[in-house]
Structure 1
Amino acid sequence: MLEACVVFTHAASLEYLRSTLTDYFSDTRHHMTNPKYKQRASTFIHDEFRRFGLETTYHNFVWEGDDFANVIGILKGDNFGTYDDQIIGVGAHYDTVNITKGVDDNGSGCAALLEVARQMTSVGSKRKHTVIFAAFDHEEYEFSKYTPEEDFGLLGSKYLISQWLLPWIQKNYPQTVGAFNPSGIIVLDTAMDYNNSASSQIIPPADLDKFKKLFPDVVKSLQSDNFEGDFLATVFQSVRDGRLANEFHQQWNKMGRAEYEIEMFGLALDLPPNALTDLFRSDHVNFWLNNIPAIFVSDSADLRGKMQKCYHNACDSLGMMLNDDNLNFLAKTSDTIAATVDKLSQNYAVSGAQSVLPVGHSLFTILIALVLALAKQIYLNMA
């Protein structure tokens, strides 16, 4: 029996992404206008987490008399419960506003979240650090029943941190209170609208001067590319989130498929949230507020292509959003997240485990793996 096996990962299943979007994230997921379909989506996430072997739970909370539920899956590492554990997370919200189908916002993030979990649990490997997968409820803003001049959002991640995550850390890592050192969380939101047409990407005119000042290299890149919406936007705070963001950037570039580009939006830690509101409108903000490293990956939502019209509208649908370019763009994002999490969680092959060869590897790659495995077996037999 081999002491270790060559383990292939990071070849996303387009079939899994497509069926997940089509079957569970193609209709409104709102607690008032379509509660049954929303429940169907949350149950699917929960059941998939369990099928992948994650320690799975709901985190229930109440807002203005309505019930909501975050879904959490935990993949424990060897360092679980110790000071050495550097937890890394992946998160995406699964709810929608009351009228949209929500395929891009945020069926895309949920499909990628589940694909990453599928990849990371389908090979014969373990890891030193713990991974947490989280599907957030009630990310979308809605008017309060009692104070209609106010709106509320990002509530699922807010309450998950205060009501579940921090107590969970205190329970399982009591010796690390005040000295916890997580790798951080990757937050997906609206991540599959790829458009390589000229002028398909916009920068809000009111924010153009701010963008030029804060991200001169990004603006130059967009200008040189005729403002094509062909990139994944990665938003992070440079000092605290730099390690996570840099690893994500490196893994993206290793994935090939150069037509799918990336732009890095590194923010100063002291930048006020109202400085660039488009970069502060998803669940990563709550992790920042709790001093937890987080990066936000997105197609830029209503600043790009079809989503300029379809963001929070009914046309964010399968017919509008599900095509080969978008699916492959989402696949590269999924693969990059899986590779980043594998690297930071320090995965390693398990003795005697069976490798899983995902779709997408060439016959040549498989033959090389078999030759290496055979050579190692011969060496072990001779030793």
Structure 2
Amino acid sequence: MNNIKSIKTTMMTIETLKNRESVKYGFHIILICISLLIWSSDLRAESSVIKKSQNKMAEQNSLLKVADSKRLNQYLQNILNTDLPRNYQNPAQLNRVANGLISQMQQFGITCKEQKYSVNNQEYKNVICPLNIQAKNKIIVGAHYDVYGEYVGADDNASGVAGVLETARILSQNKNKLKSNIDFVFYTLEEPPFFRTENMGSAVHARSILNEKDQISAVYILEMIGYFDEKNSQDYPMGLGLFYPKHGNYIAAVANFSSRNLSGSYCQMMKQLKQLDCQKLTAPSFIQGVDFSDHLNYWQYDIPAIMITDTAFFRNKNYHTSADQAQTLDTDKMAQVVDGLANTLLK
């Protein structure tokens, strides 16, 4: 009798496992189909961008390759030079970094303002630095300057902050070529425990600009732009690895479907500059990693936004560890990322 009961139990277990495997297999098929749609959507977007850019080939000679890797390295050192980690538990260190950013932007002739707010009776601040040409529309270029835990956070996200600074320097010297107002924004409290909460610096900023939402044509978030590896270092969310390179020697432009023209324009500019390879990823936010930065707070209000990134933990295994140090970054390639953004904003 016990043997019969055991056999029945075993058969039921096998059937359950079969059902689970079927569900798992079906889920994989769905993800692959979504990936195909994403990939084909990116191809269509690229085709549209290429057609537009073909009419501007005469402008090739005006493209700038002026981002300075030595300056980027100096920005990194300034940001990383803190007595304690620049996390939410050390607001004095966050303030020191914020004040340094304000001072650096002043050297470019850009005056900044502080957007202060309180969390648990502690004051934090975003730094907002407008480059105003009296245009009707505005573009936002931003990066978060805080870190996770007790770590140095060179790639995450001193690299992004350095990229915003160098972009600001270039655009301030080419202000007469701009067609949009630019707000350079340095966000606080992007990292846990505030990630995906209303207390994220970018969430506070996004809410504050809703009255001018119609004038905001684009948001570019620089999130980890310094780690590159030509070996088989690149991972992807499930299903996407079929369509993207195995090497980690490219920059990614991540968009949702309503923002994909921004990523297409950026990657097309990188191609025109004949520099670092650029890969577009257009995907809904439920795909892992797609909304893992400040751009998510603009998507929430249907403001077009993309993340420019080295793909974070999908490539850089130093992510959120003590190994995320300045010597692991490639400032020459960071400069190429910045050149791509600066030229995109100037075209």
TM-score under structure 1 length normalisation = 0.69
Shift of 1:10: 3.7
Choose from 212, 226, 230 the match for 1:192.
226
Choose from 21, 24, 35 the match for 2:76.
21
Counterpart in the other structure of 1:31: 88
User: Is 2:342 aligned against 1:338?
Assistant: yes
Tell me if the contact between 1:10 and 1:338 (Cα under 8 Å) persists in the aligned partners.
Answer: no
Which one has the bigger helix percentage? Answer: 2
Superimposed CA distance per residue, residues 187-206 of structure 1 (whole angstroms, 9 cap, x where no aligned partner): 01111100001x21112xxx
Give the length in aligned residue pairs.
Answer: 285
Using CA pairs under 8 Å that are at least 6 residues apart, name the structure with larger relative contact order, 1 or 2. Answer: 1
Tell me if the contact between 2:110 and 2:131 (Cα under 8 Å) persists in the aligned partners.
Answer: yes
Root-mean-square deviation (CA, aligned residues, Å) is 2.3
Give SS of 1:188's match: strand
| Alpha-carbon separation, structure 1, partners of 2:99 and 2:182 | 21
User: Is 2:142 aligned against 1:91?
Assistant: yes
Shift of 1:220: 3.1
Q: What residue ranges of structure 1 are gaps of 5+ in the alignment?
A: 1-5, 80-84, 144-149, 170-176, 213-218, 344-383
Shift of 1:49: 2.1
| Alpha-carbon separation, structure 1, partners of 2:150 and 2:198 | 16
Counterpart in the other structure of 2:273: 255
User: Is 2:249 aligned against 1:230?
Assistant: yes
Shift of 1:246: 2.0
TM-score under structure 2 length normalisation = 0.76
| Alpha-carbon separation, structure 2, partners of 1:25 and 1:340 | 28
Give SS of 1:279's match: coil
Tell me if the contact between 1:140 and 1:153 (Cα under 8 Å) persists in the aligned partners.
Answer: no
Counterpart in the other structure of 2:200: 155
Tell me if the contact between 1:99 and 1:312 (Cα under 8 Å) persists in the aligned partners.
Answer: no
Q: Percent identity?
A: 25
Counterpart in the other structure of 1:215: none
Change (3 A) 1:156 1:75: same
| Alpha-carbon separation, structure 2, partners of 1:91 and 1:338 | 13
| Alpha-carbon separation, structure 2, partners of 1:165 and 1:97 | 27
Superimposed CA distance per residue, residues 310-366 of structure 1 (whole angstroms, 9 cap, x where no aligned partner): 2111111124x24xxx111110111111111112xxxxxxxxxxxxxxxxxxxxxxx
Give SS of 1:278's match: coil
| Letter aligned with residue 236 of structure 1 | A
Give SS of 2:243's match: helix
Q: What residue ranges of structure 2 are gaps of 5+ in the alignment?
A: 1-60
The aligned runs of 1:258-277 (5 Å cut-off) are 260-267=276-283, 271=284, 273=285, 275-277=286-288
| Letter aligned with residue 200 of structure 1 | S
| Alpha-carbon separation, structure 2, partners of 1:154 and 1:293 | 21
Which structure has the larger Rg? 2
| Letter aligned with residue 266 of structure 2 | F
